[in-house]
């Protein structure tokens, strides 16, 4: 297993976990936290700890995902720069040949002018 493949697998796992964490949350502050004690009527702090955990885990997974994506760029298979530059040079040379105007061709046959 190459390093790049490992990064891709880790990115997929972190993205899946991030989707799950986001889906558990409710945009108005409910979600998983509101199912513990009626959403604010409990003053023990369990609801606040759940909300805090979900918030921190969302940020942590987001940062990990961003870091993995950036690091996978360094592990990606590289294309030989020599091949790429030679292709570019060939294209430029061909374009120069095609853009050069052709010289006028003189006719070798003689035409008799009919009056």
Cα(54)–Cα(33) distance, rounded to whole angstroms?
9
Answer yes or no: is pLDDT of 2 > 70: yes
Is 110 inside a domain boundary?
A: no
From residue 109, give the alpha-carbon distance in Å to each of 5, 104, 112, 115: 69, 15, 10, 19
Give the chain's length.
Answer: 115
CA separation for the pair 77, 3 (Å, rounded): 10
105 located within any domain: no
pTM (two decimals): 0.53
In terms of Cα–Cα distance, which of 104, 13, 27 is closest to 64? Answer: 13
Rounded CA gap, 15 and 96, in Å? Answer: 48
Q: Is 112 a domain residue?
A: no
With respect to residue 10, please indicate whether it lies within any of the assigned structural domains.
yes
Q: 14: domain range?
A: 3-97
6 pLDDT tier (thresholds 50, 70, 90): very high
User: What is the total count of domains within the chain?
Assistant: 1
Specify the pLDDT at position 57: 92
């Amino acid at each position: 297993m190459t390093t790049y493949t490992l990064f891709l697998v880790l990115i997929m796992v972190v993205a899946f976990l991030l989707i799950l964490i986001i889906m558990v949350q409710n945009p108005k502050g409910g979600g998983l936290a509101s199912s513990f004690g009626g959403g604010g009527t409990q003053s023990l702090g369990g609801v606040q700890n759940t909300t805090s955990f979900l918030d921190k885990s969302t940020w942590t997974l987001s940062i990990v995902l961003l870091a993995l994506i950036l690091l996978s760029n360094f592990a990606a298979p590289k294309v030989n720069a020599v091949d790429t530059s030679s292709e570019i040079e060939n294209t430029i040379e061909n374009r120069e040949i095609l853009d050069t105007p052709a010289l006028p061709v003189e006719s070798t046959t003689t035409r008799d002018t009919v009056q």
